[in-house]
Structure 1
Amino acid sequence: MTFVALGSPSAWASATPDGSREGDTTVSADSKGDTVSATAGAVVFDRSKNGSGQSAGAVASTTTWTPPACYYAPKYTPAELKAYLEPIWEAESTGAQWDLEQRNKYENGGQTADTYKDFNKDKTGKGYWWDSFVTKGREGDPGALDCTKPIFWVDQGEAPPADIPQAVTPEVLAQLAYAEIRVPSTKVQLAPQGTTKVNLPTWAWLDAAKFKPVSVTASVPLLGIEATTTAEPVSLRIEPGTADATTFPASGVCEISNGRIGEAYAKGKADETPPCGVRYLRSSGDGSYKLKATITWKIHWTGTGMNSERALPDGAFGAEQDVVVQEVQAVNR
């Protein structure tokens, strides 16, 4: 999947010149006119509508796509970049040639589009220096090394350069929120429970109350942009854990209908075919079969400057449980 930066000016127009923000993060101006900190440009997550509980887990993309392992966002004011780089240059641990190139780029430049004068001090309060961040939990991922572009400047209210696909935009925020989605465990309820019999239809269902849409909102308060990523359950796949079994339906995929995932067994339905379930054809002997139940979640997002939802790859989350299958005991008279 390609990262696409949204070009709509409305996605950036809500950023105020002094960096002030309503909400979780506020950046105010100090007595010298510099902002207190640009690190408030880091991504903030609202997980209040996410799945919860000890058995909740992250969805995994059903395709080869994964959320970004690194991204770019505001990180320094002019004063902060100076305070960060000058001790590095003074230590002379990075080599005289490299230090000179860096000084010419950020301190002594100003003659070309990719060089700056005095860390852009004259633009204090009018923009921020952007640098790379590694997505939490992805530190060891090879993709975390993809963000190698040198620190760059973005004027307040302007979109980041189009040639930097990992620069934080509403779409990148949606992808980062995808990684924060948590959904309930998919351990199914069975009837008979725990132990079933050979050739006996075993009903399977999930507590529909637990399987409602969940969402996470990612935002950069400093920029006034956000995106909400939502996951909705669409189907349950049952894998019996053995080839000696048949599933109901035959595909093993139970579609979610009217908020229900399968149907709870009720007395008097022993001879009926369950809408979702399994029939084991062979005993599990002294052990058990590992039945796996996997929910597929349809994932979509909306964000700043958008009028409609957009799709992200479906996600899946599954869990295994033991099922003991016994032979039917004949009764001798």
Structure 2
Amino acid sequence: MKRPLKRLSAVLTAGTCWSLLALPGVATADDTLGGDTQGATQEANAGKDGTVSVTVGGVVFDRSKNGSGNSAGALTSSTSWTPPPCWYAPKYTPEQLQKYLEPTWEAGSTGYQWDAEQRDRYVKGHPYKDFNKDKTGKGYFWDSFVNKDFPPGWDSCEEPIFWVDQGDPPPANIENAVTPKVLAELAYAEIRVPSTEVTLAPAAATKVNLPTWAWLDAADFKPVSVTASVPVIGISATATAKPVSLRIEPGTKDAVTYPASGVCEVNNDRIGQPYAKGKADQTPPCGVRYLRSSGNGTYPLQATITWEIDWTGSGGASGDLPDGTFGATQDVVVQEIQAVNR
């Protein structure tokens, strides 16, 4: 039987909820299961660089190898794919499920028929007898966690709370029950990549018809990753984002890009090449040449990096996820070359 929507698991908003607490330690079964909020609790371990590891929805996210800084941001999938809007994970021991459901039944707030069906399912043996207490320590009841950031999650996870024996996979017919692949997809949503503001030469202002060199600092230009795990059942997955190319959009049609496509590929762990004295007459491997002055204003140069995403998980699982992009805009001043008459 499907649950009424009002009985769905507590709604979680990834971007706003996960930074509330700062508690040390690694999640245990007791940390990630049960509770009056249906397990919609979290823990966070703040690192020196501002990154955190968090526990939410029965899943631990290790973001210690993520991009950092005020300008870091989330990836946008290059396709219509999005991470799961909801997922199923271990949430209750038999005793915790009893503690959660019985007060609801006693209150009668969900109606006699629904309560009776729930008692039949979890107490009277159809299929679980006395909350599966005879299996205490041998598995968990799984329930849904909904992420409001990825609608329409409300309609995606309506399966009633179900039991999974320890060491067994979740039922194959239940979509988005946590597996290494689903964990990788959830980790994708937590990846943050550094700013894509490129270094330009000339820096303060460039000139009409003067090639402007563009490149990214190699120190910031490196892979980032997030690991998602469910400690109580011993599965995990790490999603890694690797920068592969930079697209430059000059902000005006009166410009020429280098290369002509505007896409600068990675070369020896770097995109573009720093300008050096003596290269003024050379064509930059990555850059732009403006054909018209920006007048009293500026041109909004858009720099967007494409990141390839792959993942590895427990049990030797691995795969690829859709590429992601992240961009930033920076203002460019373009001046006319001043000629001197003698």
Q: TM-score, normalised by structure 2?
A: 0.83
Number of residue-to-residue matches in the alignment: 298
- 8 Å CA contact 2:74–2:193 kept in 1: the answer is yes
Task: For residue 262 of structure 1, give the secondary structure of its aligned residue in structure 2.
Answer: coil
In the TM superposition, what is the alpha-carbon distance from 1:323 to its structure 2 partner? 0.3
Q: Distance in 2 between matches of 1:61 and 1:36?
A: 29
In the TM superposition, what is the alpha-carbon distance from 1:330 to its structure 2 partner? 2.2
Q: Distance in 1 between matches of 2:234 and 2:326?
A: 32
Q: Distance in 1 between matches of 2:150 and 2:277?
A: 53
Amino acid at match of 1:127: G
Q: Aligned pair in 2 of structure 1 residues 266, 330: CA closer, same or farther (>3 Å)?
A: same
In the TM superposition, what is the alpha-carbon distance from 1:95 to its structure 2 partner? 1.3
Of 307, 316, 331, the match for 1:322: 331
In the TM superposition, what is the alpha-carbon distance from 1:213 to its structure 2 partner? 1.1
Of 6, 9, 25, the match for 2:27: 25
Task: Give 1:229-308 correspondences, 5 Å limit.
Answer: 229-306=239-316
Q: Distance in 2 between matches of 1:266 and 1:50?
A: 31
Amino acid at match of 1:262: G
**CA offsets per residue over residues 91-118 of structure 1, 9 Å max, x none?**
11111111111111111233xxxx2111
Q: Distance in 2 between matches of 1:314 and 1:27?
A: 34
Could you tell me which residue of structure 2 aligns to residue 161 of structure 1?
Answer: 171
* C-alpha RMSD over aligned residues: 1.8
- 8 Å CA contact 1:24–1:221 kept in 2: the answer is no
Q: Distance in 2 between matches of 1:139 and 1:245?
A: 38
Could you tell me which residue of structure 2 aligns to residue 7 of structure 1?
Answer: none
Could you tell me which residue of structure 2 aligns to residue 108 of structure 1?
Answer: 124
Q: Distance in 2 between matches of 1:280 and 1:291?
A: 11
More displaced stretch, 226-235 vs 94-103? 94-103
In the TM superposition, what is the alpha-carbon distance from 1:72 to its structure 2 partner? 0.3
Task: For residue 305 of structure 1, give the secondary structure of its aligned residue in structure 2.
Answer: helix
Could you tell me which residue of structure 2 aligns to residue 126 of structure 1?
Answer: 138
**CA offsets per residue over residues 124-151 of structure 1, 9 Å max, x none?**
111111000124xx35732354111111
User: Which has the bigger relative contact order, CA under 8 A and spacing at least 6?
Assistant: 1
Q: Distance in 2 between matches of 1:143 and 1:241?
A: 37
Q: Aligned pair in 2 of structure 1 residues 37, 276: CA closer, same or farther (>3 Å)?
A: closer
In the TM superposition, what is the alpha-carbon distance from 1:69 to its structure 2 partner? 1.7
Could you tell me which residue of structure 1 aligns to residue 205 of structure 2?
Answer: 195
Task: For residue 318 of structure 1, give the secondary structure of its aligned residue in structure 2.
Answer: strand
In the TM superposition, what is the alpha-carbon distance from 1:25 to its structure 2 partner? 2.7
Task: For residue 82 of structure 1, give the secondary structure of its aligned residue in structure 2.
Answer: helix
Task: For residue 118 of structure 2, give the secondary structure of its aligned residue in structure 1.
Answer: helix
Amino acid at match of 1:58: A
Q: Distance in 1 between matches of 2:103 and 2:268?
A: 62
Amino acid at match of 1:266: A
Percent of aligned pairs sharing the same letter: 71
Q: Aligned pair in 2 of structure 1 residues 322, 37: CA closer, same or farther (>3 Å)?
A: closer
Which runs of structure 1 show a deviation greater than 4 angstroms over 4 or more consecutive aligned residues? Answer: 35-41
- 8 Å CA contact 1:126–1:155 kept in 2: the answer is yes
- 8 Å CA contact 1:70–1:145 kept in 2: the answer is no
Q: Aligned pair in 2 of structure 1 residues 162, 269: CA closer, same or farther (>3 Å)?
A: same
Q: Distance in 2 between matches of 1:143 and 1:130?
A: 17
Could you tell me which residue of structure 1 aligns to residue 321 of structure 2?
Answer: 312
- 8 Å CA contact 2:82–2:150 kept in 1: the answer is no
Q: Confirm whether residue 117 of structure 1 aligns to residue 126 of structure 2.
A: no
Q: Which runs of 5+ in 1 are unaligned?
A: 1-22, 29-34
- 8 Å CA contact 2:61–2:226 kept in 1: the answer is yes
Task: For residue 316 of structure 2, give the secondary structure of its aligned residue in structure 1.
Answer: coil
In the TM superposition, what is the alpha-carbon distance from 1:89 to its structure 2 partner? 1.1
Q: Distance in 2 between matches of 1:27 and 1:99?
A: 28
More displaced stretch, 99-108 vs 39-48? 39-48
Amino acid at match of 2:209: N
In the TM superposition, what is the alpha-carbon distance from 1:27 to its structure 2 partner? 3.6
Amino acid at match of 2:87: Y
Could you tell me which residue of structure 2 aligns to residue 84 of structure 1?
Answer: 100
Could you tell me which residue of structure 1 aligns to residue 114 of structure 2?
Answer: 98
Q: Distance in 2 between matches of 1:148 and 1:250?
A: 50
Could you tell me which residue of structure 1 aligns to residue 17 of structure 2?
Answer: none
- 8 Å CA contact 2:248–2:263 kept in 1: the answer is yes
